[in-house]
Homo-oligomer: A and B are copies of this chain.
């Protein structure tokens, strides 16, 4: 039987609340390795190598490999929804909303390339675990935002009436996020340029108008 003896010094003290700079550094390198090799194929020893330390030392900062993954994804989604909510709250017209969402997405890829790649590759298997239930919630919000934008556009006659909005949603969603697998910040195209090209394709098509 246990008695509640107040804040017992149970073990070490992993700094959970105020995130030190070192913690961020380690998460960044971990995200890089996860994105490059895949989560399951990444061993904690590889992460430690890239960080210039030994495997066990990681457990001073984090209490499991999985919790590193969770924190990486949580941080990314928090910032993503910061940007998205700003767009959605502005209550633009459907076309402008779509343009802003796409542009914002490519900006997030620019800022969180590794996290997006991980999200895109692993989220499908992760949502099954209750620990990663926040992924499912994010996906629902995401779907709702996009579907309602497309439907508003069809209703306002700015998008074509014969559109299958669910299919269109899937196409747009996938194309946008999968870009994280080939996008390199500082490459030929900026995030805004890619967004412009993509929007021009999706909105007006690649065929010459006759």
A36 contacts which chain B residues (CB < 8 A)?
125
Question: Is A90 in the interface zone, CB < 8 Å from B?
Answer: no
Give which listed residue, B95, B163, B175, contacts A171 with CB less than 8 A: B175
Say whether A168 contacts B203, CB under 8 Å.
no
Say whether A206 contacts B206, CB under 8 Å.
no
**Interface size bucket, A side?**
35 or more
Contact with B along A30-61 (1 / 0, CB 8 A): 00000011101100000000000000000000
A148 to chain B, nearest CB (A): 15
CA distance A122 to B182 in the complex (A): 14
CA distance A208 to B209 in the complex (A): 13
Give which listed residue, B37, B170, B179, B208, contacts A179 with CB less than 8 A: B170
Q: List 7 A-B contacts (CB under 8 A).
A: A158-B207, A158-B208, A159-B206, A160-B206, A167-B197, A171-B198, A209-B209
The interface of chain A, by Cβ under 8 A from chain B, is: 36-38, 40-41, 95, 121-122, 124-125, 153, 157-164, 167-168, 170-171, 174-175, 178-179, 181-182, 189, 194, 197-198, 200-209
